[in-house]
Structure 1
Amino acid sequence: MSPEKQTVDVGGVAVRVSHLDKVLYPSTGTTKAELIDYVVRVAPALLRQLQDRPVTRIRFPDGVDGQPFFEKNVPRGAPAWLRHRVLPAAPGNDDEGTELDLPFLDDLAGLVWATNAGALELHTPQWSVSRRGVVRGADRLVVDLDPGTGAGLAECALVAHLVARRLAADGLRQTVPVTSGSKGMQLYAPLPRRRPAVEVRQYARDLAHALAQEHPRLVVAVMRKDVRAGKVLLDWSQNHPAKTTITPYSLRGRHEPRVAAPRWWEEIGPDLEQLSPDDVARRLDERGDPFTDGAGDPAADLAG
């Protein structure tokens, strides 16, 4: 085996890795080895988010300045130990009417395998699949906050508190904010029981339109670009069974290395910024995971 390729033991699983010195983020010189180190450091928290959810990957084999591609199915040459399941494509999917061979990342070996393949972004649906292959309903609601031209994270922070308060009034009191690693952020609310994804989508749509009507200068619930300037889009469509969302703790394939980072509500204010892999790993070590340790109270509004 060439020195560029090697097999490493990851929790008792032999994983092939290659070209560990390859730079995947040219702006910072961040190498594949450094990205594998990141997923190792955050693996317990990231794996909790991936558990039993099929993973759509966005791969950047030539780094973030190269040409990325989406990958839903298990790729040719995947290791025999990788769990996967053939399932019908979700209704409303471009692949509707076909079957997909979907992979699951169950352990650290799976994370290392995916990162070595350049799969920087890991996207997952709000529903999951049992080990017996039964597709289960959504166990969480997600609202994507996407700032339009002239708006940014400060506006997203303000809207995040509005959304979380409305969710709390409806009985969903454990909402966790996640800065996306890109422009905006997401809010995740665990559901008290599993619900059909289309039902959750309808609730999120109604919530978004109600808040847009109450706060027309700040919130919009439709994707038309001509009405989004200076406002924050509440993208309720992420709850559709055919849609996926960037997984909390996943890397992002942007100019600089950033992460979809779970946050505490006390941080969600006008000075909010996106976080790097080192930031996220350090915070996880020092303070824990907002998804398991609690994100705090959105009523503690630092946004004014």
Structure 2
Amino acid sequence: MSPITEVEGRRLPLTHLDKVLYPATGTTKGETLHYCASTAGVLLAHLHDRPVSFLRYPDGPDGQQFFTKNVPPGTPAWVHTADVPRSRERNARQVLVQDLASLMWAANLVVEFHTPQWRADAPGMADRLVLDLDPGEPATAVECCVVARWLRERLAADGLSAYGKTSGSKGLHLLTPLEPTPSNQVSAYARQLAVEAEEALPDLALHRMKRALRPGKVFVDHSQNAAAKTTAAPYTLRARAEPTVSTPVTWEEIEACEAPSDLVFMIDDIGPRLQRYGDLLGPLINLNRARPLPRP
């Protein structure tokens, strides 16, 4: 029998709570659910009104993984969904994680949360820019931080503020709050930033995805600004060997990074960081911080 938990008046069966999802640390599914519940305030703030895509890994990161944008079979009727335009078909429907009950239902599926740069009520109108700094071995997060510092200054020259978070994998994400702007315009601007980063840091930064060019460099992935693309959400757990989290970081931490381990955070780290810093990505959901995209 699966235990039935009541969350905000919704009855939820929570399954296999003792199952070890992360063998490297012995972290159980119950512990991952506890993480989601204890960080629900910030998780929900960043998921709110954004159609969610799930990377599911029900048997842990070493088991089968599959990415889904559609509403999963068996989704409770009370979970909110939204129409989402797709390029080759009519509107599809995706989940909106709007409350604690929906968050715990989704967490019970064992998922990474991925979101677009726009909200459900304005598809394709981005309210943020994202640059995914992805290191090619032997480059690491240390090199990502060098590129991030250059990009921060470049964005500041256009009157834009940048905020960093770890990807929860090997890289770093930079995010900038924007006044709602068509995704294709944000994509073009982001690509130009990546090109300029490569010109300024030719031995380090790269704007093209070509694998042969990647070793030892940081790919400035601008593609996630496209309306159809998604990025790992702030505070989501990742399907990695250990229960790492996509974690907001300070610029002081980025500037001081001397080893990849300096920017690795796991579920037990997040509570203390929230107590110390609050939500470092709060400006992304503060409309007063949004700025217009520079004109070409």
Q: TM above 0.5, one fold?
A: yes
- Structure 2 counterpart of 1:60, one-letter code: Y
Task: Please show how residues 253-272 of structure 1 align to structure 2 within 5 Å.
Answer: 253-268=239-254, 269-271=257-259, 272=262
Q: What residue is the counterpart of 1:137 in the other structure?
A: 125
Equivalent-residue separation in structure 1 for 2:209 and 2:155 (angstroms): 22
2:226 to 234, 240, 244: 240
Q: What residue is the counterpart of 2:91 in the other structure?
A: 99
More displaced, 80-89 or 149-158?
A: 80-89
TM-score by length of 2: 0.91
- Structure 1 counterpart of 2:101, one-letter code: A
Q: Deviations over 1:47-71 (max 9, x none)?
A: 1111110000011111211101111
Partner SS state of residue 107, structure 2:
helix
- Structure 2 counterpart of 1:108, one-letter code: L
Q: What residue is the counterpart of 1:127 in the other structure?
A: 118
Contact 2:49 2:96 in 1 (8 A): yes
Equivalent-residue separation in structure 2 for 1:27 and 1:64 (angstroms): 10
Q: Deviations over 1:79-118 (max 9, x none)?
A: 11100123321x4xxxx22432211101111111111111
Equivalent-residue separation in structure 2 for 1:197 and 1:254 (angstroms): 30
TM-score by length of 1: 0.89
Partner SS state of residue 172, structure 1:
coil
Q: What residue is the counterpart of 2:7 in the other structure?
A: 10
Q: Deviations over 1:194-247 (max 9, x none)?
A: 000111000000111011012101111001122222111100001001100000
Equivalent-residue separation in structure 2 for 1:136 and 1:184 (angstroms): 26
Q: What residue is the counterpart of 1:88 in the other structure?
A: 85
Query: Per-residue deviation at 1:293?
Result: 7.1
Query: Per-residue deviation at 1:13?
Result: 2.2
Equivalent-residue separation in structure 2 for 1:227 and 1:66 (angstroms): 30
Contact 2:116 2:227 in 1 (8 A): yes
Q: What residue is the counterpart of 1:161 in the other structure?
A: 149
Equivalent-residue separation in structure 2 for 1:56 and 1:108 (angstroms): 17
- Structure 2 counterpart of 1:68, one-letter code: Q
1:118 aligns with 2:110: yes
Q: What residue is the counterpart of 1:299 in the other structure?
A: none
1:149 aligns with 2:137: yes
1:291 aligns with 2:281: yes
Equivalent-residue separation in structure 2 for 1:30 and 1:136 (angstroms): 38
Q: What residue is the counterpart of 1:72 in the other structure?
A: 69
- Structure 2 counterpart of 1:73, one-letter code: N
2:208 to 222, 225, 244: 222
Partner SS state of residue 39, structure 2:
helix
- Structure 1 counterpart of 2:100, one-letter code: L
For these two proteins, the number of residue pairs brought into alignment is 280
Equivalent-residue separation in structure 1 for 2:38 and 2:153 (angstroms): 33
Contact 1:145 1:186 in 2 (8 A): yes
1:60 to 46, 57, 62: 57
- Structure 1 counterpart of 2:216, one-letter code: G
Partner SS state of residue 38, structure 1:
helix
Contact 2:147 2:204 in 1 (8 A): yes
- Structure 2 counterpart of 1:285, one-letter code: Q
Partner SS state of residue 135, structure 1:
coil
Contact 1:141 1:200 in 2 (8 A): yes
Equivalent-residue separation in structure 2 for 1:225 and 1:87 (angstroms): 32
- Structure 2 counterpart of 1:249, one-letter code: Y
1:24 aligns with 2:11: no
Equivalent-residue separation in structure 2 for 1:154 and 1:136 (angstroms): 33
